[in-house]
Amino acid sequence: MGLRKFKPVTPGTRFRVGASFTEITATKPEKSLVVSSKKSGGRNNTGKMTMRYMGGGHKKSYRLIDFKRDKFDIPATVATVEYDPNRTARIALLHYVDGEKRYIIAPEGLQVGQTVVSGDTATPEVGNTLKLANIPLGSIVHNIEIQPGRGAQMARSAGAYAQLAARDGKYATVKMPSGEVRSILVTCLATIGAVSNSDHANEVLGKAGRKRWLGRRPRTRPVAMNPVDHPMGGGEGRSSGGQPRSRNGMYAKGYKTRSLKKYSNRFIIEKRKK
């Protein structure tokens, strides 16, 4: 894992900071775990644009990732560490002893040839998946389930990790990447270690064209629009736009949008730091 700075040969490379890809061991994905991916361009089934600033981008195939890790007590060998265009983290190809192949999110420090396993018999080592009930307190974890058997939903992006702080009865207390502290059932699975490619946050695209390769179109500032297009549009000269709000008039920057009746509210012990 590391970053690479470029010589200023062109204006686009002058400030560019990219990934070094030194950890990548294979250039082509496993064919049986790849499916085609169709782009929407921000349009719905009638062709109407429902999401702005989406479109274009390089063609990508989707890699099927095993977020459930439900092959319990069957060891697997790490065959490759690969780049995935659909996510910020690296992925690892596992070869199970029964012949099956699966992709997982690669944790930091996972090496080719290493053996990983999931289940109650697994040891708390990097890449192994255990129930929160069996993980030592203070451990760094990622790929955390919210409901048992549903598959990992939290701490999955590059460099993300959570910390197991305590256990009380059937609930474990976990400090999330955002700083939020919440209760999660001890029967939920989590993987030991932090997610790979932690340097992703320090990458600099360097030019607008690289943003287009990712499928993101130029974003227009609401203040620069006309009154008919946005509540913050219009005015003479460089007017500030008044109260920050969305195109539909919903206030932003401080206005709470989280539902007061959301089912998971009762599991949050401490809200995230602002």
Which residue type is seen at 239?
S
Residue whose tokens read 């708390």? 124
Nearest to 107 by CA among 160, 45, 61, 165: 160
- Predicted local distance difference test score (pLDDT) of residue 1: 65
Nearby residues of 110 by Cβ (< 8 Å), 6 or more positions away:
78, 81, 92, 116, 126, 127, 193, 196
**174-191 b/e with 16+ CB inside 10 Å = b?**
bbbbeebbbbbbbebbbb
Distance CA 141, CA 133 (A): 13
pTM: 0.92
The end-to-end CA distance of the chain, in Å, is 30
The H-or-E segment that residue 12 falls in is helix 11-14
Give residue-wise pLDDT tens across range 92-139: 999 999 999 999 999 999 999 999 999 999 999 999 999 999 999 999
User: Both tokens of residue 196?
Assistant: 């790979």
Q: For the chain, which domains are there?
A: 3-38+59-201 (2.30.30.30)
Predicted confidence (pLDDT) per residue in 143-198, tens digit: 999 999 999 999 999 999 999 999 999 999 999 999 999 999 999 999 999 999 99
Instruction: Check pLDDT > 80 for residue 274.
Output: no
